[in-house]
Amino acid sequence: MAQPLGKVYRIPRHFNWPLVAGGFALLALVMMMGRWGAVEAESSALLDLARWLRGEASLPLVTAPVAYRLGLPALASVLPGELHHVFATLNWLFVTATALLATATVRRLGFGTQRALAAGLLVILSLPTVWYAPAVVAEPASICMRMLFVFGVLNGRPGLALAAALAGTAIREEDILLLAWLAASGQVSRVRMGAALGAAMGWIVGLHLWMAHGAADTVPALAAAGINASAGWDRLLSLGACAGFVLPLALAGLRDAPARIRSLRSLLVLMLLPGMQAALSGHADGRIVWDLTPFLLPFAVALGMPREVMHVPEVRQLRIARRA
């Protein structure tokens, strides 16, 4: 017979969230300070979108994929300050929130305080946090929404996961795949799921029609920049460095993963598709692995966990004969 191990899913009662949040925020700030406000290939387009939303410039000539990433520039445009610093500050907040969500997710699963804190530290103590997060990019906000999605799925809150997927789609168009996975899982009613998919697809199509006039001018320039950048060894080194820690831990942890997180394996495979498409188009760098971090973390911290059930030999009951 099988008996559950109670300690595997025991949630610690005492947890100093203010101390953990402050520590994560300070550590993330230290990690990001060296490249605060840096730029990447798509940074100029994101800055132009924010300036246009502020009324400081005309509608920029942008196309896919930047045209579908209006959420973060819209948020940056309503905040005061120089835009490079605004984007970096927002990314710092999103990185901190992602680490807290990772800790909360693992803690709610009952994996223990040490594994919960390790999940948050894996978010912050990584190459993407040092190199990409301080720059003008949209990935930190998208990854935060993906982590919130994982939190909702693993804790039986599909409504929260649905909201996170919608917000993620407004930030980056690839996150519509989260809605597709949620629809296939059957966790949300068809009416709500249809409304969410319709809103997400309407958002992407509307932005495409709104900004499609800039496609002829920007596609060659962006494509050329991507090809030239991908030819360098720096992107290959970035890919290897970002994959060199959390990915091996997650792959090794697949064997020890409890049943309640194994549903993430199909989600992980699905969310790998945008990264594969980017690699085929010559835009492969460490952000491919960074995008998968929310789905890898539960498996990474599950490495070495005890099994959910303990098999013990059956013992036959001793029958006592009645006295005559």
pLDDT reported for residue 305 = 80
Q: 309-311 and 2-4: which strand pairing?
A: antiparallel
Domain boundaries, the chain: 22-221
- Could you count the other beta carbons within 10 Å of the beta carbon of residue 133? 28
pLDDT per residue as tens digits for the range 102-148 = 999 999 999 999 999 999 999 999 999 999 999 999 999 999 999 99
pLDDT reported for residue 318 = 44
How far apart are alpha carbons 28 and 35 in whole angstroms?
12
Residues 6+ away with beta carbon under 8 Å from 38: 134, 135, 136
How far apart are alpha carbons 74 and 178 in whole angstroms?
22
**Mean of the pLDDT values across residues 4-22?**
71
Q: How confident is the model at residue 280 (pLDDT cuts 50, 70, 90)?
A: confident
pLDDT per residue as tens digits for the range 184-232 = 999 999 999 999 999 999 999 888 888 765 543 444 444 444 444 444 5
Q: What is the DSSP letter of 316?
A: P
The answer to whether 161 and 267 have CB atoms below 8 angstroms apart is no
pLDDT per residue as tens digits for the range 219-266 = 444 444 444 444 457 777 888 888 878 999 999 998 888 888 988 999
Give the residue ranges of DSSP H helices in the chain. 17-32, 43-54, 71-77, 83-108, 113-124, 127-131, 139-154, 158-171, 176-185, 190-211, 215-230, 233-243, 246-253, 264-280, 287-301
pLDDT reported for residue 307 = 60
Show the tokens assigned to 100: 């807290």
pLDDT reported for residue 67 = 79
pTM of the model: 0.86
For the chain, give the longest Cα–Cα distance.
103
The answer to whether 306 and 8 have CB atoms below 8 angstroms apart is yes
Higher pLDDT, 202 or 316: 202
Closest to 36 in 3D by CA, of 79, 88, 93, 73: 88
pLDDT reported for residue 165 = 97
Axis crossing angle, helix 139-154 with helix 287-301, rounded to the nearest 10? 30
The answer to whether 295 and 246 have CB atoms below 8 angstroms apart is no
Show the tokens assigned to 141: 């906000």
pLDDT reported for residue 9 = 53
pLDDT reported for residue 168 = 97
Length of the chain: 324
Residues 6+ away with beta carbon under 8 Å from 53: 73, 74, 77
Residues β-bridged to residue 3: 310
pLDDT per residue as tens digits for the range 150-166 = 999 999 999 999 999 99
pLDDT reported for residue 13 = 66
